[in-house]
Structure 1
Amino acid sequence: MDAVLERCAGLDVHQETVVACVLSGPLDRKPQQAIRTFGTTTKELLELSDWLTENQCSHVAMESTGIYWKAVWNILEGQFLLVLGNAKKIKNVPGRKTDVKDAAWIAGLLRCGLIEPSFVPPVNIRDLRDLTRYRRKLQGQITSEKNRIHKILQDANVKLTTYVSDLFGKSGLALLEAIVNGEVLDADSVKNMVFAQLKNKVPQLIEALNGRLRAHHRFMIGRHLEHMHQVEGHIEALQKEIDQLLKPYREEIGLLKTIPGIQEDAAASILAEIGADMSVFPSENHLASWAAVCPGNNESAGKKRSSKTNKGNKGLKKIAARSSSSSIRKQDRLAHP
């Protein structure tokens, strides 16, 4: 294999240690090898950075295994040209395995230009990615709490959902709070709690509320509602941080929202996953492959065999699937070209 880098390093990163292998020398000769092991505290990673600088390394490569590479990346970022390799694609040949050999293997691949770098967005996009992913996680928790309340109401034979389309709207929440507080619900009190067309369904609501509600049911509904409101508060705080980080990208968000099925939240999440610099993806096909939303390819001797798609970016894949489903429900031109 022809070398393309005169001075580079490969890192085998673990939770407590980083084994670094530096290869240096003319491209037409066998390189000299220097190996050292460092800890993973900030002080020790700074020592690693100084050692790599002393050895005049221009490129540094590491595997994207787990989350341990992130601490190393954060320290070395901006000082070297960093390459994050897919562990599956740069796996060493079978045989005797040690951390030193792994680091040397990564350095050798990097020296010959055989590591395809994984996409790592800049710091502000990484921060936005953390926030939007956490927001989706919290939104999932709210959905779970709502489902649990539905289940408890059915267990108590309270059939509110037969007449209240949005149980967690203004009217539905008022009725739930009254149930938790153990209030006596007659026609007048129910009429004061509901709004719009529900005022015409007061007799039916009274009948729906006439179930087998026990103190246990009230206690559980109260806990679920309390947790749901707490999570909603966390989401509001997250949204403020997300809006702050999105200010430099309003043009990109506007362009994403022109796609049928993409709303503000989805646009922010997509931007957080792929960034604003599309030069990292040579074509739309590369982006689709990176997100693993394209079919696999397994052909031999003219015959196509079934194959699994890669895991890809799970967050982006979920957003794309959810947005496409929303577009189909709206019956727009994307659903029916």
Structure 2
Amino acid sequence: MAKSADSVTGPLPRRCCNAQFACEWLYAAINHIKGGKTMEETYVGIDIHRDYGVACVRDLKGEIVDEFQFGNNIEGIQKVREKLGENNVHVAIESTGNMWVVLWDTLEENKLDLHLVHPLKTKAIASNKLKNDKLDAKMLSRLLRGDLLVCSYVPPRDVRDEREIVRLRASLVRLRTQVINKLRSILHKYCIRYKGSLRQNAGIEFLSSLEIRPVDKSAVQSYLETLKTLNSEIASVNAQIAKNEKEEIRLLMSIPGIDYYSAVLINSEIGDISRFPSHNKLASWAGLVPSMHQSGTTFYNGNITKEGSKRLRWILVQCAHASIKTNSKINEFYSKIAKRRGDNKAIVAVARKLVKIIYAVLSSGNPSLYGDPKKTETKIKRMRTIAEK
């Protein structure tokens, strides 16, 4: 029969105020139970920049065992991978633009315990008066060891790829809007009004036939070539997005106001729905809950927090506008609030209601009760048509 930990290490005193002693006792007890084998558990803080990164490695007792700098390139990241190995390594990486992505993907292959640190909220917990890369890496490793970090959710790689493709489409649409605004600006110089869409074939033909000064004619032709290219690229990206036929996408498309693009964007931003214990938590992450201010006996709610995923919040507001036009129940809900609080707050309330519906649909795996099966089937057919182009 195996001996108890107390028979070797001695019992832990009831009134032990020394945290380091308690940690050492626990460490020795675990090693004894494991047959005397040392569990080399390490905590690594990495402060990453565009050209290089700084790492600080601590052991279970909190002592620094290694500090090193590496280049933020393939060779430097492979150096980090070799140094850290694969066993019982916990890594905290500060989120800095997109500069952490390659490092994360590489270390993820080693199946390490990775944490992407929220820089602003971590600064609120512990900020150094003297700030440099070494101190930041030390602080990250110390907070990681104490489980005091505020971390961001990083979805699996396939979900990250979904995010990239829908964000690419949003970026291309913004560029197209800029080009159309440039074209309308030229039309305003000549007091020309065109009520249709300039990005459609009829609008392009109208712009090509304009009799204006040569300098503006040249600008219009240049913008039209750019517009045609963007239209082609957006159509290509739309086809890629429409090929996504996950069950979650079909379920989301059963909700009024949500089509295939909105469904893919919502699903990619949310990721695993089980990480939210309730629809209220999901709404809070989308930034669609009111801010709260309290001091003593004074308490009041302010505007929505607008924290969390701004893309999810944006698409929910867009879907809210569409849903009030396609569903009578949601329109009735919107009208009641609009009479009392105005249109803007009513739209936000509808977006918040959509969050509740989305949570119920994804959690239960059943289509929305607000949806119309025939309309949902029409959406799916249109999605397949676009995917085949």
- Report the TM-score when normalising by structure 2: 0.68
Task: Tell me if the contact between 1:298 and 1:307 (Cα under 8 Å) persists in the aligned partners.
Answer: no
Amino acid at match of 1:238: V
CA gap 1:120/1:214 in 2 versus in 1, 3 angstroms: same
Whether 2:45 is the aligned partner of 1:10: answer: yes
Partners of 1:253 and 1:10 in 2: how far apart? 37
Counterpart in the other structure of 1:40 = 72
Partners of 1:127 and 1:87 in 2: how far apart? 24
SS in 1 for 2:92: strand
Counterpart in the other structure of 1:84 = 116
SS in 2 for 1:46: helix
Tell me the CA shift for residue 68 of structure 1: 1.6
Tell me the CA shift for residue 335 of structure 1: 3.0
Partners of 1:78 and 1:282 in 2: how far apart? 29
SS in 2 for 1:67: coil
Tell me the CA shift for residue 31 of structure 1: 3.9
Amino acid at match of 1:175: F
When structure 1 is superposed on structure 2, of 255-264 and 302-311 the one drifting more is 302-311
Task: Tell me if the contact between 1:119 and 1:280 (Cα under 8 Å) persists in the aligned partners.
Answer: no
Tell me the CA shift for residue 151 of structure 1: 3.2
Partners of 1:242 and 1:148 in 2: how far apart? 28
CA gap 1:170/1:233 in 2 versus in 1, 3 angstroms: closer
**Deviation by residue 1:140-180 (Cα, 9 ceiling, x = unmatched):** 2222333333333332233443xxx445545444333333x
CA gap 1:254/1:7 in 2 versus in 1, 3 angstroms: same
Amino acid at match of 1:218: K
Counterpart in the other structure of 1:226 = 225
1:133-152 alignment runs, 5 A limit: 133-152=167-186
Amino acid at match of 2:296: A
Larger RCO, structure (CA 8 Å, separation 6 or more)? 1
Counterpart in the other structure of 2:240 = 241
Counterpart in the other structure of 1:205 = none
Partners of 1:98 and 1:231 in 2: how far apart? 43
Counterpart in the other structure of 1:53 = 85
Amino acid at match of 2:95: S
Partners of 1:226 and 1:75 in 2: how far apart? 40
Tell me the CA shift for residue 295 of structure 1: 1.8
Whether 2:58 is the aligned partner of 1:62: answer: no
Whether 2:280 is the aligned partner of 1:285: answer: yes
Partners of 1:265 and 1:118 in 2: how far apart? 25
Off by >6 Å, runs of 4+ in structure 1: 1-5
Identity of aligned residues (%): 31
Superposed CA RMSD in Å reads: 2.7
Partners of 1:307 and 1:89 in 2: how far apart? 21
CA gap 1:89/1:160 in 2 versus in 1, 3 angstroms: closer
Tell me the CA shift for residue 316 of structure 1: 1.4
SS in 2 for 1:312: coil
Tell me the CA shift for residue 7 of structure 1: 2.4
Counterpart in the other structure of 2:151 = 117
Task: Tell me if the contact between 1:22 and 1:57 (Cα under 8 Å) persists in the aligned partners.
Answer: no
Task: Tell me if the contact between 2:287 and 2:304 (Cα under 8 Å) persists in the aligned partners.
Answer: no
**Deviation by residue 1:175-215 (Cα, 9 ceiling, x = unmatched):** 33333xx6xxxxxxxxxxxxxxxxxxxxxxxxxxxxxx433
1:251-262 alignment runs, 5 A limit: 251-262=247-258
Give unpaired runs (5+ residues) of structure 2.
Answer: 1-18, 28-40, 334-389
**Deviation by residue 1:238-291 (Cα, 9 ceiling, x = unmatched):** 2233344x24x2x1111111222111111122122222x212323222222222
Task: Tell me if the contact between 1:12 and 1:99 (Cα under 8 Å) persists in the aligned partners.
Answer: yes
Counterpart in the other structure of 1:102 = 136
**Deviation by residue 1:72-122 (Cα, 9 ceiling, x = unmatched):** 111111320101111112223342233222212111211122223311111
When structure 1 is superposed on structure 2, of 114-123 and 2-11 the one drifting more is 2-11
CA gap 1:243/1:260 in 2 versus in 1, 3 angstroms: closer
SS in 2 for 1:321: helix
When structure 1 is superposed on structure 2, of 304-313 and 33-42 the one drifting more is 304-313
**Deviation by residue 1:43-87 (Cα, 9 ceiling, x = unmatched):** 121111111117x44211111122221121111113201011111
Question: In structure 2, which of residues 295, 303, 309 is the aligned counterpart of residue 300 of structure 1?
Answer: 295
Task: Tell me if the contact between 2:45 and 2:141 (Cα under 8 Å) persists in the aligned partners.
Answer: yes
